[in-house]
Structure 1
Amino acid sequence: LVWHSRRLAHVVKAEPTLLTHKGKFLRDAMKRTRITEEEIKSALREHGITKNDGANWVVLETNGNLSVVPRQEIKWEEAETLSDVRAPNRMPGR
């Protein structure tokens, strides 16, 4: 059913959610997804990142994993693999 109905898929399936943007924690998204700052910092450390702004973005994936996109010179709008990620309309520093 999920395969054939977009509305049902939206209700049943989670979508990837942006949790940080260039070192800034997106508190509303963190609260909504119940992800703590400590969990995000742990994911950063797992990727060898020692500063919050060492990653462009941290994304909560649909499987519960945290994906870390290391710091690079790219704008959010240009990041093709993030096109399906739920993000606020206005992000800090954007």
Structure 2
Amino acid sequence: MKNKLYHLFAHVVNIILLGAVGFLGLALFVNISEPDPSVPSPSPIDMGIWILLLSMWGFSYWYQFKNRQWTVLLFANLLFIVAVTIVILVLMPLLYDLCYF
């Protein structure tokens, strides 16, 4: 029973995280305002960031099911959320400043 509860909780949490990454990808690739001519839509930076986030999520998901421990589930998801925040708030603006003066 404990193993089934872990699998259910891990799947639900990871589907929510995957939905957030998917929504972020949709927000990166769809521009509803007037497009800025200096930044192409979708840009290679957006694609790279989205692929990075998907691969980080995939590794986190794989690692959670490899170990099957509640602490790993908790810390892997918290680490993923922190990494996504750092990538979006630090890495993404830095790459835009370096590539699009």
The TM-score bracket by the shorter chain reads under 0.3
TM (norm. structure 1) is 0.24
TM (norm. structure 2) is 0.23
Select the structure of larger CA radius of gyration. 2
- From the two aligned structures, give the one with the greater strand fraction: 1
- From the two aligned structures, give the one with the greater helix fraction: 2
